[in-house]
Amino acid sequence: MNDIEIIDNFLEPSVFENLKNQMYSQQMVWSYGRMLSSEHCEILCDELDNSLMYHIMYESESSLFNFVDISDLPPDLPNLSQKSDFFDWMKPILDNNLMNIKFLLRIKANLYSRTKERIVHGYHTDYPFKCKSAIYYVNSNDGSTKFKNGQEIESVENRMIIFDGELKHTGTTCTNKKTRMCINFNYF
């Protein structure tokens, strides 16, 4: 059973090229950090490889949702969130009806540097509760997203995958390009 929806050519070619150019521009600001915490996931890589560059485009006040069923939330709940200066770059993705976003939790861009051998980081879920997850691939490379259920999705530029956020997954580095870039979305 395939629990992962794969949508190739998610954005129109010119819109995709514009987004890719923006994401790879010198305007884009990246932070360096630890990839995964052993408290919340099964780390498969050496601790020295457990890092990446990232940028939080958007983050809601997610602590509100640790114990709440989204169907119980009032429709006029204020969205206490933090938006990056680059949030508007995500508009073409967020406006796509295939996403069907009712409430946005987080958008996080990930940038992995090339490694000599492909590194698998560790299976995890992004949140400890039921939500939707999506990954948008900005460039093509030999990296992938692997799922604990055995499925593996190749990093193909302008591809979106949408899946149940409770599916354990992990990213990898790539060996055939300078970087692997993807953008993660978590939402209801």
pLDDT in tens, 19-78: 999 999 999 999 987 655 555 556 555 555 656 789 999 998 754 455 445 555 555 655
pLDDT tens digits for range 141-155: 999 999 999 999 999
User: CA-to-CA distance for 123 and 42, rounded, in angstroms?
Assistant: 5
CB atoms under 10 Å from CB of 89, counted, come to 20
Q: What is the pLDDT of residue 49?
A: 61
Which domains are present in the chain? 7-61+80-187 (2.60.120.620)
Tokens 């993807």 found at? 182
Coil, helix or strand at residue 154: strand
For 3, what's the count of Cα atoms within 13 Å in the CB-facing half-sphere?
A: 15
| pLDDT on residue 1 | 39
Residue 120: which of 155, 144, 149, 150 has the closest Cα? 144
Identify the pLDDT of residue 157: 98
pLDDT band at 88 (very low <50, low <70, confident <90, very high): very high
pLDDT at 167 exceeding the cut of 90: yes
Indicate the residue type of 140: S
Backbone angles phi, psi at 178, to 5 degrees: -65, -35
Q: Could you say which DSSP state residue 48 is in?
A: G
Contacts of residue 111, Cβ cutoff 8 Å, sequence gap at least 6: 30, 52, 53, 54, 55, 179, 180, 181
Check whether 120 has a pLDDT greater than 50: yes
What the block records as the tokens of 166 is 């409770």
Q: What is the C-alpha separation between 28 and 89, in angstroms, rounded?
A: 11
In this predicted structure, the answer to whether residue 168 has a pLDDT above a threshold of 90 is: yes
